Chains A and B, each alone.
Chain A
Amino acid sequence: MSKVTGSEILIKSLEAQGVEVVFGIPGGAIMPVYDPLIDSSIRHILCRHEQGAGHAASGYAHVTGKAGVCIATSGPGATNLVTALADAKMDSIPMVAITGQVPTPMVGNDAFQEADITGITLPVTKHNTLVTDIADLASTVKEAFIIAETGRPGPVLIDVPKDVLQGHAEFHWPDSVDLPGYRPTTKGNLRQVREAVKLIMEAKRPILYVGGGVIRSNATDELFELATEGRLPVVTTLMARGAFPDSNELCLGMPGMHGNYTAVTAMQKSDLLIALGARFDDRVTGKLAAFAPHAKVIHADIDPAEIGKNRKVDVPIVGEAKDIITKMVAELRKAQAEFGGVPDRGAWLKQLADWQKQFPLIFEQPSDGLIKQQYVIERMYEATKGDAIVVSGVGQHQMWAAGHWKYDEPRTWINSGGLGTMGYAIPAAMGAKVARPDKRVITFDGDGCFQMTAQELATMTVENIPVIMCILNNGYLGMVRQWQELFFEERYSQVYLTYEVPDYVMLAEAYGAVGLRAESPEEVDSVIEKALSVEDRTVVIDFRCDQTEKVYPMVASGTSNDDIILGPGQEAPQLDPSAATLA
């Protein structure tokens, strides 16, 4: 076999791995890789900022379940990826980042564009490797994809010095790799599953607490069976919207700090939480000591470190959600057959239905007032019949988009949950659209977020990646403004961005996108209609929204979920937090 360059080995390895698309920006140290790329089947999307490339890879991974790939050069190229890596780590997104590094003899010498990127990204990657020997290059790529995509998914970074890229060796794609320290437990223990089912059969007020792990594990069909066979009500966390259809009567929607009343309170009053691929994040639990005080806990997760980390667990099950839920369904069927049906939980289901009727997510759109952000989301939902992949940034608009859109399919809701990365929407939407060109991709973004990554509009125009972007422009860093209004006595500090600067319509047009604007509620439908008629270009819509609109319900930071604050005109009933049963 003839020898090829390290760069060719890298590209051949990506091809062998089945990579179709990479997002990146070339530069000095990574430049050798860009030469064999010309002749490769891999589509390279030239981004305008490495953070954009990173989030695009993340959006791609969200939609496909396969590792998204991004490429950057050494030094600043690599450090610009850090936020995207940290984001992917927090949300368990499979991702492989490839960075160039200065030549091996110069490593550690403060060379031009040198950064110790494996050192820098240690805590924000699942794993990373500096390849110092060309003989290790192909196996390192294979390992990276295995680590990124299996177990609890996450980002892996491969740092390759320029001399390794320019060296010569034979290309050999390994059949298997040796990772003696990496053996994720994938199969759930059947005894534990039986224990869990026993608790389910005894429970009077069970709740399926579903997290992003169910989507990562492609276990949504199994979840549907479990919930419907057992008549078990479901809450879907921010990372799990779409894991169970919102249109199903058993779906209670999103719990947590900005969850709806029923989802939040159902967990508080539950006597059994069945946590599947969820991690008892502080945004879900509120004050931990006061969270679901009467509930026993079944916690199924691929990552043993999540079990018992925040909440004491009665039945821990380590494994892939798909395997565990499949076993749960089988065991539950047996147990219910033996019992003679589903245990009677009529009172609980009725209570939940009553709460849903009494305390829906509400907002009021005055006909002559400013546009309410929720109104835009609902009108867009109506106009598209919900047939779209929705992507959001971070903040108020994210919470509205998570709550007011109805998600019936997995992988149709993409956002930055754990890290809360502002600016996520534009590049992630780009990655999502590349993954699913057949599907309409819509962002709901804030004006603050939009300005953090807007340069990728150029990428989308040039690479022909059309997305509909709805800026819910309130001229503010809205979530911070909301907190300052509520908790800092309306002392607004450094949150005002203005409606007009930049002019989003002109900005969109400057980037070759279509720019539209709606300034009053009656313009909303027609602008949406116009946007939906454009299929070959990205559309940016500047919705001038109410600056004072706040996200409700809300559980203030550090308080109990029992102290949920509802929207204007809604009063939460005083439920006795000490009561083990319902009033």
Chain B
Amino acid sequence: MLKDISKKIYSPDIQVLAGPVVLLLLFGFLTIVLVKNGYSRITAQLNELKESSQVEESLEGKLSILKKVSTTFDGSSSSVLVALPEENPGVQLISQMKLYAADNVIPLNRIEMKGLSDVSDTLTKIQIISEFEPVDYKSAISLLRSFQSSSPISSLDSLKVETMDGGVLIAEAEISVYWSKLPTELPPLTEAVKEFTSDELVFLSEISGLSQPQFTIMPPSSPSQRENLFN
């Protein structure tokens, strides 16, 4: 009975067709597996290539900026560091003050440094109070204006001028001078460097043009004969 049924199902026609159909199904199945797996892998690779190209592009940009910087901003870093140093530049400002007072023929009666305070997490200031005797108001203004083009960076907080007996002017100026810790970390290697804007470049050239305190520039001394202590 069973043999009859199987003979009917596996008729000679079916037996001829079975081979190609199985083959067709097998290749169809393999094609589907191949396309599905291949597509997902290729898509992943395309994404990886896109990300890799972006990183490459940002690194190339960073490298070109750094190459430009290595030649362009040679003395600028020292200028900005004198303008806003890491440590209290009060002594430098006092030195500048004495210099400008001498230039304007103004006697300095008193110089006081006080009022240390934090402007922000990274910026600190101290106030320098100076009392001086200007010949007239114009010379007092000229003295104060000198600080606007002077390094280290300072801000003029107040000025009080009084006329004493005999017409002598006594002025008291409060000037704040600032300092800030140096940045301690470089950005990650793959992070792009921000290029200097034209405003920043103008500002940088202004900072570089500020008059420097005299004792920050050490003039080279010529070699001299060493003294022999044993003679």
> Is this pair of chains taken from one and the same complex?
no
Chain B positions within 8 Å of A, measured between CB atoms, are none
